[in-house]
Amino acid sequence: MLLAGDFGKAPATRCCSENGDQRKNIKEKSDINIAAVVGNQPVCESTDNGDLPSYVAVFIEKEVGNDLKSLKKLDKLIEQMTESKMQLEEQVLTVSSEIPKRIQSALKSAEESKQFLNHFLEQESHLFSSINSHLLTAQPWIEDLGAMINQIGEIERHLAYLKWISQIEELSDNIQQYLMTNNVPEAASTLASMAELDIKLQESSCTHLLGFMRATVKFWHKILKDKLTSDFEEILAQLHWPFIAPPQSQTVGISRPASAPEIYSNLETLFCQLLKLQTSDELLTETKQLPEKYSLPASPTVILPIQIMLTPLQKRFRYHFRGNRQTNVISKPEWYLAQVLMWIGNHTQFLDEKIQPILDKVGSSVNARLEFSRGLMMLVLEKLAADIPCLLYDDSLFCHLVDEVLLFERELHSVHGYPSTFANCMHILSEETCFQRWLTVERKFALQKMDSMLSSEAAWISQYKDITDVDEMKVPDCAETFMTLLLVITDRYKNLPTASRKLQFLELQKDLVDDFRIRLTQVMKEETRASLGFRYCAILNAVNYISTVLADWADNVFFLQLQQAALEVFAENNTLSKLQLGQLASMESSVFDDMINLLERLKHDMLTRQVDHVFREVKDAAKLYKKERWLSLPSQSEQAVMSLSSSACPLLLTLRDRLLQLEQQLCFSLFKIFWQMLVEKLDIYIYQEIILANHFNEGGAAQLHFDMTRNLFPLFSHYCKRPENYFKHVKEACIVLNLNTGCALLLRDVLQSTSGQPPATAALNEVGIYKLAQQDVEILLNLRTNWPNTGK
């Protein structure tokens, strides 16, 4: 490659090969600006610094190089560079000629914009002055027009006011004319229209107009209501309303007089006319409400005809159950509760057969029987609200009142179909002071009941002990009575109106369960020395029964709903971890889980104590059996008949007696757990303390196999089909000890040659060994003494 310093030497080396024309062309073109790059290649950075010769040298080296033949390209290269130079010169000329024109055009546009702006400013100034002048000129007109508009608006309001008054007076005149012509239905319809106008005017600020409207509605409502009420009561009197006697003894409907159709027709007419007064009656009559602390659900007023039908019954109720009457006894709430239930029952048939069709005919959604019941229920609620503060701190009277109210509510809902969404007695009992007192009394009487049931002579005896089919759980009387108590408490509070109140009762139930568990634990500790005794087993049955019942209750719809309500409360208060909330939400846990876990732990501890007790007795009885001379017993061929080892008799007798005793005293599920726990310990004990602690000849191994398979295992055959499966260590040890000599030798060789390999496991499985490990089998094989003499 040619360096910049060698550029002057290059022509001397090449002059011999160049002709004269080429040298002439090169000289003529030497002034060409080679910096204009062929093919639009950029000039290198060195040309910017004035090092043009270096760039030219590099360019010639690149295009020509050391190849003299490439000099032929010079003509073409010079042409390209000349063309490029011309293009660049044209671009420079074009740009230099266009830029001034653009600048001139921009300046011209700016000048024109400035002129337009000045023109607009002049116009704006002129318009501003014109507008101000016009406003000054028009100001008097504006003031005059404003005054006129205000006058027009005032006149329009007066006109509208007069129209309303005219409309009211027109309706009032119509009602008067209808009454003069005795057209009561039209008068009632017109009054209903007037009442609707009254409702529309409620948002108006015209107090005098509202007062006039309300006074007019009140005037005609009283006249129509008095007239229709009088006629309606007269018709009811002809029907012997109210029905004080039971339906069976009522004469109406049984012996129908000739005028009955006319009476019922008049009844329907008057009932419908009274219904038309319902809107105006609601406007004028203030519904008597109980204090807000009772949180009664919002409900419409009882329809007017039913109110009139209730009037005589309300008078009777207030006469008998208020004041100083002998029937108003605070300790006898059942008197007025039974009276209300009787009234509802006496009138149900008439309401369903005579009144309900009228309501259906006019398209009303009201249920006559429920409306009648709702009216009577308000009497009961008022009476309860007045009586409860007087007996709140007398436990016996308060408890009696609650009992009677709950019985009343049950019959009201179940027999008469009264909806729980309506106002009822449970709302009164849910008032904070009353409810807390109810909880306190409930707890007090429950604890007293628990004391009495545990101190009873029959507390630990099952009341179904003589009935085998019923007495599967072997439940002692105290446990069954306690769960009945919890069930009764559930029935008492399940109709409470709010979930928060129900949850408080649920906490009471859980506290009672925990208290009863503690009492059972205390009694159990007194019986610890006699862990196989009758009372100890009865306590264990009680714990199991309570745990089982609570687990069943956890799947009950009522308690699942309470669980959901508790989940919402816990989530709001952040009283549980996310894991616990997730378990509750996914139904993995229940509201009784804490109690069930404590009861299950107590049950397991008691069962363990019983198993340990029986196991100790079995070990004591097995001492002689452990010392049996297994090494020197005669072989099976030397005995006529195999018989049980005499030293095994105490062991088996003890085991049999305890199994029979506990089978009779424990329920089936508990006894199953007991014998399975006992078998597990017994299997390990016999395997480790008897089998692994001795050596066996052929007769000893056969005797052990006979004792186990023909005597021990059959003791448990009554409780399962294959008891040997629960003695896996003993069963497989007997198999190993009783293998014939050839099989034993072969098995030992396999185990020694394939230690821990699959073939060893296959060999063990082939002879029936699945539980024992390979090392255990090798130990058992070494306990055999009947190996042939191999000369080793």
- DSSP for 659-726 reads HHHHHHHS-HHHHHHHHHHHHHHHHHHIIIIIITTS-B-HHHHHHHHHHIIIIIGGGGTTT-S-GGGG
**What distance lies between CA 389 and its chain's CA centroid?**
37
Q: Over pLDDT 70: what percentage of the chain?
A: 87
d(CA 494, CA 565): 13
N- to C-terminal Cα separation, the chain: 97
d(CA 730, CA 738): 12
d(CA 140, CA 146): 10
Is the per-residue pLDDT at 41 higher than 90?
Answer: no
Q: For residue 586, give the 3-state DSSP assignment.
A: coil
Can you tell me which residue has the tokens 């599920």?
669
d(CA 44, CA 603): 97
Phi, psi of 588 (to 5 degrees): -75, -25
Q: Name the pLDDT band for 247 (thresholds 50, 70, 90).
A: low
**What distance lies between CA 721 and its chain's CA centroid?**
44
- 622-783 is classed in which CATH architecture? Up-down Bundle (1.20)
CB-based burial label for 334 (10 Å; 0-12, 13-18, 19+): middle
| Closest to 347 (Cα-Cα) out of 312, 366, 326, 373 | 373
Asked whether 401 and 356 are in contact (CB, 8 A), the reply is no
Residue 216 neighbours by CB under 8 Å, 6+ apart: 168, 171, 172, 194
Q: Which residue has the higher pLDDT, 575 or 2?
A: 575
Asked whether 450 and 482 are in contact (CB, 8 A), the reply is yes
Phi, psi of 784 (to 5 degrees): -75, 140
Q: Name the pLDDT band for 258 (thresholds 50, 70, 90).
A: low
d(CA 558, CA 567): 14
Can you tell me which residue has the tokens 């008439």?
350
pLDDT of residue 50: 52
Phi, psi of 696 (to 5 degrees): -130, 130
Which of 157-166, 220-229, 255-264, 441-450 has the least mean pLDDT? Answer: 255-264
Q: Name the pLDDT band for 570 (thresholds 50, 70, 90).
A: low
d(CA 523, CA 655): 27
pLDDT of residue 760: 83
d(CA 551, CA 542): 14
Asked whether 717 and 751 are in contact (CB, 8 A), the reply is no
Q: Name the pLDDT band for 9 (thresholds 50, 70, 90).
A: very low
Is the per-residue pLDDT at 45 higher than 60?
Answer: no
Q: Quick check: bond before 242 cis, omega within 30?
A: yes
Beta bridge partners of 45: none
Here the tokens at position 95 are 């740009």
Query: What is the number of other CB atoms lying within 10 angstroms of the CB of residue 769?
Result: 23
Total count of residues recorded for the chain: 792
Which of 338-352, 480-494, 561-575, 711-725 has the least mean pLDDT? Answer: 561-575
Asked whether 194 and 280 are in contact (CB, 8 A), the reply is yes
Here the tokens at position 107 are 């300046």
d(CA 313, CA 242): 7
Average pLDDT of the segment spanning 285-301: 84
d(CA 490, CA 345): 28
C-alpha distances out from residue 573 to 503, 568, 569, Å: 15, 9, 6
Here the tokens at position 40 are 């639009």
| Closest to 658 (Cα-Cα) out of 713, 708, 716, 602 | 716
Residue 20 neighbours by CB under 8 Å, 6+ apart: none
Residue 158 neighbours by CB under 8 Å, 6+ apart: none
Concatenated DSSP letters for 8-55?
TTHHHHHTTT--HHHHHHHHHGGGS-TTS-GGGPPPPHHHHTT-HHHH
pLDDT of residue 59: 76
Q: Name the pLDDT band for 68 (thresholds 50, 70, 90).
A: low
Here the tokens at position 342 are 């009787």
Asked whether 330 and 390 are in contact (CB, 8 A), the reply is yes
Asked whether 717 and 723 are in contact (CB, 8 A), the reply is yes
Is the per-residue pLDDT at 464 higher than 80?
Answer: no
Here the tokens at position 330 are 């605070």
Q: Name the pLDDT band for 575 (thresholds 50, 70, 90).
A: low
Asked whether 195 and 279 are in contact (CB, 8 A), the reply is yes
Q: Name the pLDDT band for 85 (thresholds 50, 70, 90).
A: confident
State pLDDT tens for residues 665-724: 999 999 999 999 999 999 999 999 999 999 999 999 999 999 999 999 999 999 999 999
Q: Give 362's DSSP letter.
A: T
Is the per-residue pLDDT at 19 higher than 80?
Answer: no
C-alpha distances out from residue 445 to 449, 503, 514, Å: 6, 19, 16
pLDDT of residue 35: 39
Alpha helices in 239-367 (DSSP H): 260-276, 278-284, 304-321, 333-350, 356-361
Q: Which helix (H) or strand (E) holds 125?
A: helix 74-180
pLDDT of residue 581: 59
756 φ/ψ sector (left φ>0, alpha ψ -120 to 50, else beta): left
State pLDDT tens for residues 490-500: 999 999 999 99
Here the tokens at position 217 are 């509605």
Q: For residue 575, give the 3-state DSSP assignment.
A: coil
Is the per-residue pLDDT at 11 higher than 60?
Answer: no
Q: Name the pLDDT band for 18 (thresholds 50, 70, 90).
A: very low
Average pLDDT of the segment spanning 732-758: 86
Where along the chain do the CATH 1.20.58 domains lie? Answer: 622-783
Is the per-residue pLDDT at 37 higher than 90?
Answer: no
Q: Name the pLDDT band for 757 (thresholds 50, 70, 90).
A: low
pLDDT of residue 15: 36
Q: Which helix (H) or strand (E) holds 395?
A: helix 395-414
Q: Name the pLDDT band for 205 (thresholds 50, 70, 90).
A: confident
Q: Which residue has the higher pLDDT, 27 or 522?
A: 522
The tally of CA atoms less than 13 A away on the side-chain side of residue 1 is 8
Which of 254-258, 650-654, 734-738 has the least mean pLDDT? Answer: 254-258
| Closest to 191 (Cα-Cα) out of 272, 277, 271 | 277
Alpha helices in 461-533 (DSSP H): 477-493, 499-526
Rounded (to 5) percent helix, strand, coil in the chain: 75, 0, 25
Q: For residue 529, give the 3-state DSSP assignment.
A: helix
- Quote the mean pLDDT of the chain: 86
C-alpha distances out from residue 528 to 361, 402, 517, Å: 76, 42, 16
Q: Which residue has the higher pLDDT, 205 or 245?
A: 205
pLDDT of residue 495: 92
State pLDDT tens for residues 178-195: 999 989 889 999 999 999
Residues 703-740, buried b or exposed e (16+ Cβ, 10 A)?
A: bbbbbbbebbbebbeebeeebbebbbbbbbbbbbbbbe
| Closest to 465 (Cα-Cα) out of 664, 217, 601, 175 | 664
**What distance lies between CA 340 and its chain's CA centroid?**
39
Q: Which residue has the higher pLDDT, 433 or 286?
A: 433
Asked whether 677 and 611 are in contact (CB, 8 A), the reply is yes
Which of 409-423, 480-494, 497-511, 558-572 has the least mean pLDDT? Answer: 558-572
Here the tokens at position 296 are 């009664």
Q: Which helix (H) or strand (E) holds 226?
A: helix 207-238
Q: The whole model's pTM is what?
A: 0.74
Can you tell me which residue has the tokens 């129908």?
256
Helix 774-782 and helix 741-753: axis angle, to 10°?
140
Is the per-residue pLDDT at 348 higher than 70?
Answer: yes
State pLDDT tens for residues 87-118: 888 887 777 777 777 788 888 888 889 999 99
Average pLDDT of the segment spanning 746-751: 89
